[in-house]
Amino acid sequence: MTQPRTDQPLSDWARNDWTREEIAALFDLPFTELVFRAAEVHRANHPANEVQLSTLLSIKTGGCQEDCGYCAQSVKADSGIKATKLLAVQEVLQRAAQARDNGSTRFCMGAAWRNPKDRDMPAIIEMVKGVRAMGMETCMTLGMLTPEQAGMLSAAGLDYYNHNIDTSPERYDQVITTRTMEDRLDTLSNVRMAGINVCSGGIVGMGETRADRVGFIHTLATLPSHPQSVPVNALVPVKGTVLGDMLADTPLARIDDVEFVRTVAAARITMPGAMVRLSAGRESMSEMTQAMCFLAGANSIFTGDKLLTAPNAGDDNDAAMFARLGLKAMAVQQTEAEVAAERMPKGCAKLEAFG
Ligand code: SAM
Ligand code: DTB
Ligand code: SF4
């Protein structure tokens, strides 16, 4: 895990005994005070003004048996997304090479599965090895994993496994009924025990209360060790999903930008070493809100026009935003700087467009 870059006491840096009251008190701070504190923690632990560019690829789309109320890929959603088979390894590697040439240093592969089947593992392992050989950090999100599957991914060299807790323990069963928060935490434990970096976060703007957002951050910040990566998604409301339709009927339930930035800041303060990833929902976020997120400690975005199935901001818009804000694309993720210095291929053409 990353080591603190300053004299910030390790006990603060790594503490996982946060109480809900302490986290609620952070959320209750005057906004500028909260953002100021988060920015201080960010600067003490990460290079200022640097944001990692990551690319997402859906390697298996739609037809998922789970009933996550936000997700267009669930069989329960009437979203028009067609189920596909797992992509061929060669196709995934071609897409990864394009992502690398466009400046990404991280390639995340997502499958709409409740869990991978053992017969899928050989292809998955080839994908991890191939993307890694290109010098990019690898992340996979495939649903629940057994300890054996986590061990196989670790042996293949997988850097991160993404598995979100999504919301507070109290709200969980109103969003998903086909698996429990405990199931989710068990997979995170299998991933951690296999020595893979944990990527776990959730979604803000699903009609939850502030207490739920506190509970969500609290659950992550009190895991046996902090996730090395915390994606904070703003719900992309998709027609035909339970939550997308609910929000269409009650637009006032949509998250306000100030509360979204507060959530990013709380993640940054409570988990200082983590990469905090400003994930889904940027396409409908103003540049100023995104700038506030970067000030409050977000240091990674997904690039390109598409996430897994939902639209994303697009490279040209992002390059323009980076130029206006004076942000730099992080050449390699800080936690892997030395490893990646050797792995990084020469001539990542579009990196320069991002500063
Ligand atoms: N099936 C795997 C799983 O659920 O872990 C991997 C893919 S799943 C799409 C990855 C994450 O994307 C979810 O956990 C959720 O946090 C996020 N997500 C899915 N749909 C979303 C939406 N409409 N808006 C925001 N985030 C979303
Ligand atoms: C995460 O927390 N956000 C990314 C990544 N992990 C895999 C996924 C966002 C998906 C948004 C909805 C879609 O594209 O279908
Ligand atoms: Fe399936 Fe993942 Fe979508 Fe849930 S979030 S329905 S598990 S693809």
Domain annotation for the chain: domains and CATH numbers = 30-353 (3.20.20.70)
Percent of the chain exceeding pLDDT 90 equals 83
By residue count, the chain amounts to: 355
Count CA atoms within 13 Å of residue 10 on its CB side.
3
Does the CB atom of residue 71 touch ligand 1 within 6 A?
yes
Are 137 and 105 in contact by the 8 Å Cβ rule? The answer is: yes
Distance CA 35, CA 46 (A): 16
Between 10 and 105, name the one with better pLDDT.
105
Residue 14: pLDDT band by 50, 70, 90 thresholds? confident
Per the annotation, the verdict on 64 as an active-site residue is yes
What is the pLDDT at residue 344?
A: 41
Does the CB atom of residue 263 touch ligand 2 within 6 A?
no
- Picking from 216, 241, 220, 238, the residue whose alpha carbon sits closest to that of residue 229 is 220
What is the pLDDT at residue 316?
A: 87
What residues contact residue 196 under an 8 Å CB cut-off, 6+ apart?
150, 153, 154, 158, 159, 160, 161
pTM of the model: 0.92
Residue 315: pLDDT band by 50, 70, 90 thresholds? confident
Per the annotation, the verdict on 68 as an active-site residue is yes
Region 128-145: mean pLDDT is 97
CA-to-CA separations, 207 to 141, 157, 211, in angstroms, rounded: 25, 38, 12
Which ranges constitute the DSSP H helices of 170-236? 172-175, 181-193, 210-221
Looking at this protein, which amino acid is placed at residue 109?
A: M
Residue 20: pLDDT band by 50, 70, 90 thresholds? very high
Picking from 206-220, 268-282, 330-344, which range would have the lowest pLDDT averaged per residue? 330-344
Tens digits of residue pLDDT in 208-266 = 999 999 999 999 999 999 999 999 999 999 999 999 998 877 766 678 999 999 999 99
Distance CA 246, CA 330 (A): 38
Distance CA 183, CA 208 (A): 21
CA of 151 to the centre of ligand 1 (A): 23
What is the pLDDT at residue 338?
A: 40
Does the CB atom of residue 74 touch ligand 3 within 6 A?
yes
Per the annotation, the verdict on 293 as an active-site residue is no
Region 83-105: mean pLDDT is 95
What is the pLDDT at residue 251?
A: 67
For the record, the structure tokens of 31 come out as: 């906004």
Residue 202 has pLDDT above 50, yes or no: yes
DSSP secondary structure of 20-32? HHHHHHHHHS-HH
Scan for tokens 């596909």, then name that residue. Answer: 84
